[in-house]
Structure formats: structure tokens, C-alpha cells
Structure 1
């Protein structure tokens, strides 16, 4: 009986030991899996945090850009309202939005465009020059057709469309951008060519003749006037 009891004790001990080792093994495996999962989760959260911070930064940058754009529209609308006394048959807010939108696309100072409009037509959208230039930015029909052919988002089939303020400004800004590129970023030459014509300016540059600056000086004076009105508004 004694041997039998000893054998039973040893058998029970072995079973307990086996269960203990088995439980320990399961515990180690579970803990390992937990920590591996936790590491994976932390890495995933870290990546998500990085993506989130990047998107947040981009969102802030975008918001700053939109706020700046909105402020320009409001400023230009205030200047337009001051200079025209709201006595125009078109929406100054639509005009302001178009100036800022199109100028931004072409990386042009929108206040310079406003100065060109003031110099060209004093905001009279029905204005026609002796040479047949039409509207707010005094666009010649042939120039309008040429710019329309260069730009997919501008369509004009008749010169009467140039009396529309929005169409006129879109074409005028694109034409001015074309001149800036033509003169390798020389805004002064682009302003002079806008009035004198690129062919005449090229001839004077080629022959080293005197370049008239009367128009350019008027645009700059109007730019300074607009800056003063904007700052005091």
C-alpha cells in the first residue's frame, strides 16, 4: 500500500506539474501576443497620428489661404463701392470675386488688375474706345478671340460678349498674364504693352526708341490711390 500511495502521489505531482507548465506556456503565449498586438497598435496609431497632424497642418494652410482670399475679395469690393458710389448696374461682389479668382490663378496682384480697370474704363462696362476696345478692361475683339483660343475655359463668339463685366475681366486678366510671360516677368513692360500694344513696344525696344510712360504712370498712381482707400476703409 505504501508503494501504491507513493506512486499515486508521484502521479498527482506530475499532473499538477504538467498543468502548471501548460498554464505558464499559455500565459507566456498570451502575453507575447498581447504585447505584439500592442506594438502593432501603437505603430498604427503613430502612423494615424502623423497622417492626422499632416492633414491638420494642410487644413490650417488651406484655411489661411481661403481667409486671405476672402479678405482680398472684401477689400476690393469696398474699394469698388467707394470709387463707384455703388452706382453701377452690375454686382461689385461678383466683380471682386472674379478679379481675385482669376488673378490668383495667374499669380498676379489683384489690386493691380483693379488699377488697370480704373485706368482703362473707370468701371464703365459699356465703354468703347476710338480703336474699338470694349468694356471694363478695354479689350479689342481680335485680342479677345486670340485669348479665347489660348484658353479652354474662356469662350467668346461675338464682340458683344465683351460688354459682360465677368467675361471682360476674365479675358483682360488672361491677356495681361500673357503679356507678363511674353516679357519674361517684366510687369512694367506688360503694363505699357497693354496700352501701347506689344508690336509697338517691341518695335521701340528693338530700335531703342523712347518708350512712353504716361499710361504706366497713371496705372501706378491709381494703384497707390487704391492702396490708400483699402488701408483707410
Structure 2
């Protein structure tokens, strides 16, 4: 009888641990990268991605790439830094900024950010904000994509400061660069902890 209870307890503990692992998956836990796996993972969110893409004028492939890199398509993903859901939105950062942009008070709740529709809307709206305001002026489309990816995970200020403390000067310097030069420049600066993330998102983007 004691042995049966012990076995049952082990099964229950293992079951609970599996549940917690799903809930607490971090942005660093990536599935194997291949086109089929990415498409299968993102499939459930295609409609919401397309809708957000059209609404905020952000390319679908970029949204999909960030979702896959950030959460592997898990709507319950939560990082140690409290980034939540499919696009790993921090309530007090991107969430707060988008709420203010839309004239809302406060910030999105954890429950709201676990909702795929709300999460994708806020994440895509934030990408639009980065491209249309924070990074406005970058002329090369590919460099803009790269800059957006870095700014999404590391913040616009951290990115621009490695070029110049003056925003306009930073944009001017970026515009004088080739895609390859920009990538190398970002990669060699330890103050921007996003070079591996950038490579990961680009790889996913090119597979889709």
C-alpha cells in the first residue's frame, strides 16, 4: 500500500512540474529551427497575425519571427523578467507605452497578455511604434528590420546610443552603413545584449 502511494505521489509531482514548465517557459527555450516546425507552431495564430499586420502595417513575417523566437508559439510563456505571452510583452514597458498611446490608463494585466489576440495586438502595435516613431528616418528596409528586432528586445535608446547620444546623428550614421556593417557594429557592442537574438530572428524570418 505504501509503495502504491509513493508511485502515485511521484506521478502527481511529475505532472505538476510539466504544467509549471509550460507556464514558465522562457524566451531562451527555442525549438529546433526548420520551416515545417515553425509553420506548424505559428499556424494557430495566423489569422490574428494577419489581422494585426494589416491594422498596424507591419509585415507578417516579422511578427511571426518574433513570436517564434520569443515564445515558440506558447501563449502562456512567461520569462523571469515578467515578459508575458506570445510576443513576451512586459506590462510596465511595451504594455504601458501602448496603453498610453491609445489613451488608456495603467497597463495591461497578466490575464490580458495571456490572451493571444490582445498580446499580438500590443506586440504588433509596439513594432509599429518603433518603426514609425522611435526608429523613424532609417532608410534601408533591411536595416530597419534589424534595428526593429534589436530595439524590440533591448530598447531603442540602448540601440541608438551605440552610434551616438544624439538621436538624429545616430540615424544619420546608421543610414551611412550597409546591412553587413550595421550587423557587425551591433554585434561587437557588449552594451547591446541582442546579437544572438537578432541572428535567431533573422534565421527564422528567412525560413518562413
Q: TM-score, normalised by structure 1?
A: 0.53
Determine whether 1:117 maps to 2:99: no
Matched residue SS, 1:211: helix
1:134 aligns with 2:61: no
Determine which structure has greater relative contact order: mean sequence separation of CA pairs < 8 Å that are 6+ residues apart, divided by chain length.
Answer: 2
Which residue is 1:194 aligned to? 152
Structure with greater helix share of residues: 1
- Structure 2 gap ranges (5+): 1-34, 139-143, 171-183, 188-194
Q: Deviations over 1:38-59 (max 9, x none)?
A: xxxxxxxxxxxxxxxxxxxxxx
Distance 1:81 1:211, change over 3 A: closer
Which of the residues 136, 148, 151 maps onto 2:99?
148
Following superposition, the deviation at residue 83 of structure 1 comes to 2.7
Q: Which has the larger radius of gyration?
A: 1
Consecutive aligned runs of 4 or more in structure 1 exceeding 6 Å deviation? 78-81
The normalised TM-score by structure 2 is 0.59
Unaligned runs of 5+ in 1: 1-77, 87-91, 227-233
Identify if the C-alpha distance between structure 1 residues 85 and 120 changes in structure 2 by more than 3 Å, giving closer, same or farther.
closer
1:119 shift after superposition: 0.5
Q: 1:129 Cα shift?
A: 1.2
Distance, in Å, in 2 between the alignment partners of 1:168 and 1:174 is 10
Q: Find the aligned partners of 2:69 and 2:42 in 1 and give their Cα distance.
A: 17
| Cα separation, 1, equivalents of 2:146 and 2:110 | 28
Relative to structure 1, the CA distance from residue 165 to residue 201 in structure 2 (aligned partners, 3 Å threshold; closer, same or farther) is same
Contact 2:42 2:64 in 1 (8 A): no
Q: Distance in 1 between matches of 2:162 and 2:124?
A: 24
Deviations 1:137-176 (A, max 9, x none): 00001121220221269x9642321011111000000001
1:82, distance to aligned residue in structure 2 (A):
4.5
Cα offset for 1:84?
2.9
Which secondary structure does the structure 2 equivalent of 1:125 belong to?
Answer: coil
